[in-house]
A and B are shown apart, each in its own frame.
Chain A
Amino acid sequence: MKALHNYIEEKIKPSFEEGGKLHKYWPVYDGFYTFLFVPAHPVESGAHVRDGIDLKRTMNTVIMALIPALLFGMWNVGYQHYNAIGEDAGFWMQFGFGAWKVLPIVIVSYAAGLGAEFLFCVIKGHQINEGYLVSGMLIPLIMPVDIPLWMVAVSAIFAVVIGKEVFGGTGMNIFNPALIARAFAFFAYPTYMSGDKVWINTAGGAVDGFSGATILGELATSGTTHYSPLEAFIGMIPGSIGETSVIAILIGAGLLIFTGIGSWKIMLSGLVGGATMGIIFNLVAPYAITPSQQAFMAVPFWQQLIFGGFAFGVVFMATDPVSGSQTETGKWIYGFLIGFLAIMIRVFNPAYPEGVMLAILFMNTMAPLIDHYVVEANIKKRQKRLALKTASA
């Protein structure tokens, strides 16, 4: 490692520095250098170290939290595949098949997104930010396994350029870039993002009468599902690659909460919000118009929380510190409304079974407004207190 470091310092660095031949590509060099080594930037004014954690370590922690969902997703892809074509396969065969299908999506997502990001940084002379490290991992996890790779690439580029760079790069985006990628793919290529054909890879043909619909897809059409809640909790169900297993997501959530990187307030209030809407639906279910809607509304509220991408969205997407609410009170409101709206959209509009995505994007827009009113309320409260103090004095 030391030899590599010396080699870079002596041979590679000079050509990227001021006056060097490749100075134009300094952001690229800097990005790779700080990715490999601790940055050697000397502090120019007084140091303000509050914590040993920087953006890269934050991002790495989130990626670590995503690993259980990713590994489980790989296995599940293989499991669903062999299940669908009616073949028996061992654990490693299933996992191997899943990895064979999932890894290309991950690689394409990173290559396309980072390519767009590097290009921008070189043109604009910005420093390369680490923001895409997490988005690049999130994007494959919220895509169906059968999506053509170039669609992943187009969505990732769209997310980086329109979702992030337009607003000024990492830390300035209004929306969660990974969700922008999914929303783009969802509206642009609906046949490859929804329905009952895309969630399970059935290369070689499925068994007769096999349905590849997700739980939410089944619920939206008939109001019933043939998967048990336990299967949904473990994650042995068709769905986007990383969203199926609530257990894997809970492990990730534990890591995020333990390290303090994900806000437990948003996660908890999201759960409460979803449960509240679920309970309301349970109560009004008898008054629903169509029988299938009645059955969908009558799904026990706790089951709504483990179906579909609800858990994944609330844990990994809603807690994005950039696009979410910043104030502590705001986080409660923000999380609650995400859960609330997600279940509402899911039940009321069968065309959008994945209400979580739309709920989070919608609340991303509202987050600054929530923060504004929380701050205003705080100012008012303190002014009142001040008035009381001066009056009594």
Chain B
Amino acid sequence: MAEVLDKKEVEKEQLVDKKPKEPLFSKKNRKLITDPLNDDNPITVQVLGICSALAITVKLEPAIVMSLSVLFVLAAGNVIISWMRNLIPNRIRIIVQLVVVAALVVLVDQVLKAFVYDVSKQLSVFVGLIITNCIIMGRLEAFALGNTPWKSFLDGLGNAFGYAWILVTVAFFRELLGSGTLLGIHVIPDSWYIANGGFYSNNGFMLFPPMALITVGIIIWVQRSRNTKLIEE
């Protein structure tokens, strides 16, 4: 009996081995990164993570730092959960995910406080709120629980990049039009301003969250009118 079993195991192993190993950047894997950038963008298509996208895009710098934080948490969280995916009991999986994400977020928060304190202050509560960011929970639930660590890592990277480019684009326009600066550097000449005899004035509305919503809306509008896959009947 035991011999038969062994034989079967060996056969199984051979079967597994026979399957050609997928290259690291196969077409399927590349799609994991490129899809969330456009066709399946977490913000503009799935409309997740809107809260932070509206709140921390007044200036470019916090938006970039926020994007990097989410990038780290999302990629690392995806990998860790993917490693543990066969150990996590189904009933408590959300709690386990939260613990992992929370640990990563605390790590990020401490690093930010230590190295970029000013930005950390600007981001305030929103670093902590990464824990409840829908994109992260969504990717853990939908992807990492059912895929290998490498694929989960790529998926995390892709979604974080998808989140990041929207954030940076919105922040770019909001900082440029709202404050006349980019990364804190004055890009609009001082002599343009009305106070200095010019004609220009910053658009204060850009500093309010409603304008972030409208900017995201315009990005969605442009994307939907260009991307034929997203056009609804």
**Cβ of A148 < 8 Å from any Cβ of B?**
yes
A191 and B205 form a contact (CB under 8 A) = no
Knowing A148-B199, A166-B221 are in contact, say whether A190-B194 is a contact too (CB < 8 A): no
- With a cutoff of 8 Å between Cβ atoms, the chain B residues found around residue A150 in the complex are 199
Q: How far apart sit A166 and B201, CA to CA, in the bound complex (Å)? A: 26
Residues on the B chain within 8 Å of A133, using CB = none
CB atoms of B201 and A151 under 8 A apart:
yes
A190 touches B199 (CB 8 A): no
Given A148-B194, A150-B199, A166-B221, is A189 in contact with B214 using a C-beta cutoff of 8 Å?
no
* Cβ A188 vs Cβ B199 within 8 A: no
8 Å CB interface, A126-149 against B: 148
Cβ A191 vs Cβ B214 within 8 A? no
Closest B residue to A150 using CB positions: B199
Q: Assess whether A184 is in contact with B205, with CB atoms less than 8 Å apart.
A: yes
In the assembled complex, the CB of A146 is this many whole angstroms from the nearest CB of chain B, namely 11
Q: Mark A282-304, 1 if CB is under 8 A from B, else 0.
A: 00000000000000000000000
Q: Smallest Cβ distance from B133 to chain A, in angstroms?
A: 28
Query: In the complex, what distance in Å separates the CA atom of A148 from the CA atom of B202?
Result: 13
CB distance from B123 to the nearest CB of A (A): 24
Contact B221 A189 (CB under 8 A): no
Confirm or deny: B208 has a beta carbon within 8 angstroms of a beta carbon on chain A. yes
Contact of A189 with B199 in the complex, beta carbons under 8 Å: no
Residue on A nearest B204 in the bound complex, by CB: A188
Task: Check if A188 sits within 8 Å of B203, measured CB to CB.
Answer: yes
Q: Shortest distance in angstroms between A284's beta carbon and chain B's nearest beta carbon? A: 32
Contacts of B205 in A (CB 8 A): 184, 187-188
A188 CA to B221 CA, complexed, in Å: 22
A281 within 8 A of partner (CB): no
**CB-CB < 8 A to A192: which residues of B?**
201
User: In the assembly, what is the distance between CA of A166 and CA of B218, in Å?
Assistant: 9
A186 CA / B214 CA spacing, docked (Å): 17
* B201 A148 Cβ-Cβ under 8 A: yes
Asked if residues B208 and A187 are in contact (CB atoms below 8 Å), the reply is: yes
The answer to whether B214 touches A162, judged by C-beta atoms less than 8 angstroms apart, is: yes
In the complex the two chains form, what is the Cα distance from A249 to B199 in whole Å?
33
B208/A191 in contact, CB under 8 A: no
Chain A residues with Cβ below 8 Å from B212 are: none
Q: Specify the main secondary structure of chain A where it touches its partner.
A: helix
User: Would A190 and B204 be within 8 Å (CB), given that A148-B194, A150-B199, A162-B214 are in contact?
Assistant: yes
CB-CB contacts below 8 Å: B176-233 with A:
194, 199, 201, 203-206, 208, 214, 217, 221
Query: How far is A191 from B203 in the complex, measured between Cα atoms in Å?
Result: 11
Which residue from A148, A154, A189 sits with its C-beta under 8 Å from B204? A189
Cβ contact within 8 Å between A189 and B208? no
The residue on B at minimum CB distance from A149 is B199
A189–B199 alpha-carbon span in the complex (Å): 13
Instruction: Select B201's contact among A162, A187, A189, beta carbons within 8 Å.
Output: A189
Determine the chain B residues whose CB is within 8 A of the CB of A162 once the complex forms: 214
Write the chain B residue with the least CB distance to A191: B201
Closest to B214 in A: A162
Given the complex of chains A and B, what is the CA–CA distance between A190 and B208 in angstroms?
13
Rounded to whole angstroms, the CA-CA distance of A189 and B204 in the bound complex is 6
Cα of A188 to Cα of B177 in the assembled complex, Å: 10
A374, chain B: closest CB distance, angstroms: 29
Q: A150 to B221: give the CA distance in the assembly, Å.
A: 25
B residues near A154, Cβ cutoff 8 Å: 203
Cβ contact within 8 Å between B206 and A188: yes
Residues of A within 8 A of B214 (CB): 162
| Chain A residues in 8 Å Cβ range of B199 | 148, 150
- Name the interface residues of B127-176: CB closer than 8 Å to any CB of A: none
A147 to chain B, nearest CB (A): 10
Rounded to whole angstroms, the CA-CA distance of A187 and B214 in the bound complex is 14
Nearest B residue to A161 via CB reads B218
User: Roughly how many angstroms separate A9 CA and B96 CA in the complex, as a whole number?
Assistant: 75
Output the least CB separation between B35 and chain A (Å). Answer: 27
How far is the CB of B100 from the nearest CB of chain A, in Å? 41
A contact residues around B217 at 8 Å (CB): 166
CB neighbors of A among B67-101 (8 A):
none
Task: Give the CA-CA distance A380 to B214 in the complex, in Å.
Answer: 39
Please give, as numbers and ranges, the residues of chain A lying within 8 Å of B201 by CB-CB distance.
148, 151, 189, 191-192
CB distance from B105 to the nearest CB of A (A): 34
Give a binary string over A156-179; 1 marks a CB under 8 Å from any B CB, 0 the rest: 000000100010000000000000
What is the CB-to-nearest-CB distance from A84 to chain B, in angstroms, rounded to a whole number?
20
Give Cα A77–Cα B60 distance, bound, in whole angstroms: 42
Output the nearest chain B residue to A186 by Cβ-Cβ distance.
B205
Residues on B with C-beta less than 8 A from A188 are 203-206
Q: Which residues of A contact B204 (CB under 8 A)?
A: 187-190
Between A and B, 10 residue pairs with Cβ closer than 8 Å are: A148-B199, A148-B201, A184-B205, A187-B204, A187-B205, A188-B204, A188-B205, A189-B204, A191-B201, A192-B201
14 further A-B contacts with Cβ under 8 Å, apart from A151-B201, A189-B201, A192-B201, are A148-B199, A148-B201, A154-B203, A162-B214, A166-B217, A166-B221, A187-B204, A187-B205, A187-B208, A188-B204, A188-B206, A189-B204, A190-B204, A191-B201
Chain B interface (Cβ within 8 Å of chain A)? Answer: 194, 199, 201, 203-206, 208, 214, 217, 221
| 5 tightest Cβ-Cβ pairs between the two chains A and B | A188-B205, A187-B205, A188-B203, A188-B204, A189-B201
